[in-house]
Amino acid sequence: MRKLRLGDLPKHSPWPARLLGLDDWEEEPGYGGIGVSTYDEVYGNLLALARENPEMDFREVQRSANHYAEESPVPISRAEDLFLVDVDEKQELQDEALVASLAGSLSGGETVVALGCGWGYELGVLADAYPDCEFVGGDPTENGVALGRELFGDHDRIRIEPFDFRDDRWNLLESVLADEEGSEDEGDAEADDVVLFTQGSLTALPSVREIVSETLTRYSDRVQVGVHLEHVRELHPEDSLLGQLRRSYTDRRDYNDDLLTSLRDADELDVTATTYDVVGGNPLHPLSEVRWEPA
């Protein structure tokens, strides 16, 4: 890992030129430019790869996808510093941030519900890091769910089900909560606590205000803690060039700009911590950590 000057970022990313109008690139319309069907196609290709190579585990499938998408070195960010790393090191840094984001919430026995988990790579990483917890993921893509079940079907602590943030009710979360409450009613002293988690899955929604106020808050008092490792526009500083580029990137791609505001405005939630730029696989679109508890 070696430092990268902001002035050298255009050598490694097309986005500064696009944001400055030096490139006539046009975003594809709809769902933040990247729709469910696009993800489903990508996951379908990975599903075919996994079925053709049953000896590949989830990490090998992800590594194959990474090397298909990018060539080393690639730019990343951490705490507003830019670096060049190879593709595998980028994944390692992202995995470290993922595991660390839940370190203060998992002591053993909890169930993590990961909403919008794609095909579930993050669930495999977390299950390895926290062997005393269970992991339930949900995603709207048919091939994502199928690939997750292909890779984790024999794993007794991971399951993946259909899920969509835009549904009026989150049946996946309701079923997990019902199971936990049933265990408590039966006097099970080891009944699990539920931790709600997302990673980069809220980005493509143009707004999350209604999702937070109309749906998330319906379940918040039955959840131990919420942890979001997400792209948070409100945290990008207005008084730095990097912050301005990041704000422009969010706006250009029609990603949501109201996650943190929506969480803070919800009377049922208490935002307890934010950590800016935990890691940026795309340095203009870094993941930040937001934690909340029931108010």
Q: What is the mean pLDDT of the chain?
A: 93
pLDDT digits (tens, 9 = 90+) for 9-63: 999 999 999 999 898 877 655 444 457 888 999 999 999 999 999 999 999 999 9
Phi/psi for 244 (5° steps) reads -65, -40
Half-sphere exposure of 78 (CA within 13 A, CB side): 11
pLDDT at 204: 81
Cite the DSSP H helix spans in 20-57.
Answer: 36-52
* Those residues with Cβ within 8 angstroms of residue 99's Cβ, 6 or more apart along the chain or in another chain: 125, 126, 129
Report the 10 Å Cβ neighbour count for 147: 29
CB count within 10 Å of CB 3 equals 9
In angstroms, how far is CA 206 from the centroid of its own chain? 16
Cβ-contact 283, 82 below 8 angstroms? yes
pLDDT at residue 191, as a whole number: 46
Q: Tell me the domain boundaries of the chain.
A: 2-294
pLDDT at 28 (0 to 100) = 58
- Does the domain spanning 2-294 belong to CATH 3.40.50.150? yes
- What are the φ/ψ torsions at residue 40 (nearest 5 degrees)? -65, -35
Tell me which residues of the chain have a pLDDT lower than 70. 27-34, 183-192
**How many angstroms separate the CA atoms of 208 and 19, rounded?**
24
Strand partners, 159: 136
pLDDT score for 67: 96
* Largest Cα–Cα separation, the chain: 65
For residue 107, give both structure tokens: 């002591």
pLDDT of the residue at 23:
86
Q: Taking Cα atoms as reference points, which of 233, 227, 231, 203 lies closest to residue 287?
A: 231
With left for phi above 0 and alpha for psi between -120 and 50, is residue 211 left, alpha or beta?
A: alpha
